[in-house]
Structure 1
């Protein structure tokens, strides 16, 4: 009898950590994190709507020429943004609360997607990507207030999208940790992901190389896609040398994308001292690829938006300075797909549901 009691006690003790782990995990907490971030930002815009100082967007932007609301002041813009972020906070809370909502799932997921699209296409721009260079140079003082707000908005709606994914999994009967179901893996199986992931990787490699080719041409003395006048102006300021250096960094980064379908992307090659032969942690490839995909997509969308706003109407001779960037969303989407395929191939057996 004592042995039976002790065995039952041990089984209960084993289940406690598992229960705690299941309760306090990202699918459970991500919605509340999104709600809190969006609520705080909605209240901040409410403060600005009532006349608060340091509004970061629209005509108050340090560089309003990049903004979708270049000629819109705080009094007109802040109330709309406050309403939008507070509405998104409400959506995040509905996604986070246990159980299924009476609101149809496609409506909730669509609202989350629209919130993210609104931020990506209007508030955020290429300065997030550009200021990344300042971070590497440890020049944090060069990052302006608008970029900080753009980054907060992007992270907030990113959390919202993640909470929408968690809600969809929870209400559809899929594993909240990996998204697998009993109906089979389908396009998410390692074999299928290897096929379409390879295409995504090659696309993510080619597009930035096309962009880099124009910058290399300028540095070598060929004004490809720009007027002689603009090329001479850039030459005097050594702008093309700097541009070629940045393009080279982008090209090297694109070549690293090949690791998502190559063996050296899963096992450290022999020339990596101290790590040779060891398994590459999936997050080491997935996290940077995902972040870069978001930033280049946002930057490319900005160039497309500026084109439709007529900002480049007087620069038709200098198409090489703007058109290559308009293809960046293709690069971003392909890179995100490549990272997703890499994740599907390497995720292994789920610790939550046991599916593999």
Structure 2
């Protein structure tokens, strides 16, 4: 009988067996550990919320000085009004998570209730309660690295950047990601799908055609790129002295503030570069390392190399866009108006990333499909 085992081409980035085992031990076990961590997160944050409801210090949504506030939809609010609701919400999360772990809600109304709670928790904690903080930290990460190691441009310290109200929103964001992962795993498990890849046995593969995936991916990429243009154009216009979408007085104020226009221009350039990188989700250089990445040129790009950062950016864009919706003023539309389109940018980038992942994924190591 002929040998059917084929060797991996030498240009593919195939990790050694030990690395594969480590990968499988940690990352590929997300359908199991995400539920446990979601329960732990709910228990801890619920305990903290109960502490705040009873008058404890550190309630993270109270009114504080503008320099230490956040743009969360829950801020400002009173602890005695919101903290009990958060505590109850987290208590329900513990019950829902334990029920998922014990597989008590595999069908009927219980399953629907668990899925409803899980998706509501995931969306609320990941997209609705946070603000632009994660997006800002992502955009300014190169400058923050310089500041951490050099202190330039002091005299502020890291406490001026990572204060409690902002750090709390990151904790909330992590909780949302855990609930999204836990709920997705539970939904797949109770629906007869592979919990790792989502494929269902003998199900028609509507999204397996590479041509169709690439066509819809291009549309999503172009929508993502177009949604960045208003932000980029306004920031570049301000730098060159054109008050597009703002008053002359506000432009003069920015011109009198050291480095303000330069920061806006840098953010516009970063946004433009990000939209250009988005094309990699449908271009050939998004699958094989191009020549300008000389140390890896010609090698196959692992899908996670694109999916993980693109997916993260897509998720953090949406809370920033929703925050801009809440702060929109028609008379100065150039300040927050273009940022509203971050919602569209994030959604389109998320769709393009998902289609890229579907197109690039291989056979599942768990169910063998694909």
Matched, 1:46 2:65: no
Contact 2:107 2:190 in 1 (8 A): no
Residue in structure 1 matching 2:101, options 93, 96, 101? 96
1:144 is aligned to: 163
Q: CA deviation at 1:320?
A: 0.8
Summarize the alignment of residues 64-143 of structure 1 with structure 2, pairs less than 5 Å apart.
64=69, 66-98=71-103, 100=106, 103-120=109-126, 122-133=128-139, 135-136=141-142, 137-138=144-145, 139=148, 140-141=158-159, 142-143=161-162
Aligned residue for 2:131, secondary structure, equals coil
1:222 is aligned to: 242
Contact 1:60 1:74 in 2 (8 A): no
* CA distance in structure 2 between the aligned counterparts of 1:93 and 1:306, rounded to whole angstroms: 39
2:9 is aligned to: none
* CA distance in structure 2 between the aligned counterparts of 1:215 and 1:198, rounded to whole angstroms: 27
Residue in structure 2 matching 1:284, options 289, 305, 314? 305
Residue in structure 2 matching 1:166, options 185, 193, 200? 185
* CA distance in structure 2 between the aligned counterparts of 1:30 and 1:191, rounded to whole angstroms: 34
1:32 is aligned to: 36
Q: CA deviation at 1:131?
A: 2.7
Provide closer, same or farther for how the CA distance between residues 39 and 228 of structure 1 changes in structure 2, counting only shifts above 3 A.
same
TM-score computed with the length of structure 1 as normaliser: 0.86
Instruction: Tell me the number of residue pairs that the alignment of Structure 1 and Structure 2 aligns.
Output: 330
Cα root mean square deviation, aligned: 2.3
The runs of at least 4 aligned residues of structure 1 exceeding 4 Å deviation read 60-65
Q: Does 324-333 or 58-67 show the bigger shift? A: 58-67
2:153 is aligned to: none
* CA distance in structure 1 between the aligned counterparts of 2:25 and 2:192, rounded to whole angstroms: 19
Residue in structure 2 matching 1:342, options 319, 338, 356? 356
* CA distance in structure 2 between the aligned counterparts of 1:187 and 1:93, rounded to whole angstroms: 33
* CA distance in structure 1 between the aligned counterparts of 2:135 and 2:365, rounded to whole angstroms: 35
More helix by share: 1
Contact 1:212 1:251 in 2 (8 A): yes
Aligned residue for 1:25, secondary structure, equals helix
2:199 is aligned to: 180
Contact 2:132 2:320 in 1 (8 A): yes
2:6 is aligned to: none
Specify every segment of 5 or more residues in structure 2 that has no aligned partner in the other structure, as ranges.
1-20, 149-157
Q: Does 24-33 or 212-221 show the bigger shift? A: 24-33
Provide closer, same or farther for how the CA distance between residues 110 and 192 of structure 1 changes in structure 2, counting only shifts above 3 A.
farther
Q: CA deviation at 1:188?
A: 5.1
Q: CA deviation at 1:305?
A: 2.6
TM-score computed with the length of structure 2 as normaliser: 0.83
